[in-house]
Structure 1
Amino acid sequence: MSTGSPRQTAAAPRNFTLTVEERVRAVVAGPPAFMRRKRHIEDLEESIARGLVLLDRGLAKRPETLRIRLDRQLVQLNELIELHNRYYPAEANLRMDPISGELIEMGKPWSPLPQATFENLRARDIG
């Protein structure tokens, strides 16, 4: 037996543990609501950004129809962002700094997602 070799195990190291109840809940219920909502927000942002690229480059087959769709998607996106900002801290069980009163996410003060605009979505790098 060598004393300097790392210990080989089948279980990967991690900085948290899940109870059996939490594992079953994850399998049955799927991802938490805030994760599903955040994914929907990201998908809508990407869809709007791609539509804006088509409009800006004059590549849209029916520009007026695309503008109407993008307007509706932007309203939907901002509604989702508002819901996310309202419920995320409780759903993610963010802790509060007792001194500052700020909510803490991953060691830093949490800040709500900003409302989306066509201008900030145009600035996205969508590749």
Structure 2
Amino acid sequence: MVGFLNFVIGFVVSLLIGAFGIYVGARVIADRNDYEYAVLTALVGAFVWWLITGLFGIIPFAGEFIGAVLGLVAWVYVINARYPGGWGSAIGIGVVAWLAVWVVLVVLESLEIIASGALGVPWL
């Protein structure tokens, strides 16, 4: 039971950190100020990322690389579908989200609060 509770707490904290990154990116790039919207975007983006990387990851040789690239494109597509401004804005939101989450994780890890990682933002 403790393992499951740790998983749920880790999932929620990770999701909220990833959503914070998307919130900051959307606030800076698209002038959107809705954290709940960012949470849903992070959740959908994480699911799409997991699905695409999982499907392509089973292909031998270059499948993991192709899956990672297509997963990233799919994640940006989710942002593009949820926020105004087109692909350029979606990429900008993604870059700002990645940087914001990276800063939060570095601070939290340096304070020995959590180990590095966030759900909803690829490669973190």
Q: Compute the TM-score of the two structures, normalised by the length of structure 1.
A: 0.31
Structure with a larger share of its residues in strand? 1
Larger Rg: 1
Q: Compute the TM-score of the two structures, normalised by the length of structure 2.
A: 0.31
Structure with a larger share of its residues in helix? 2
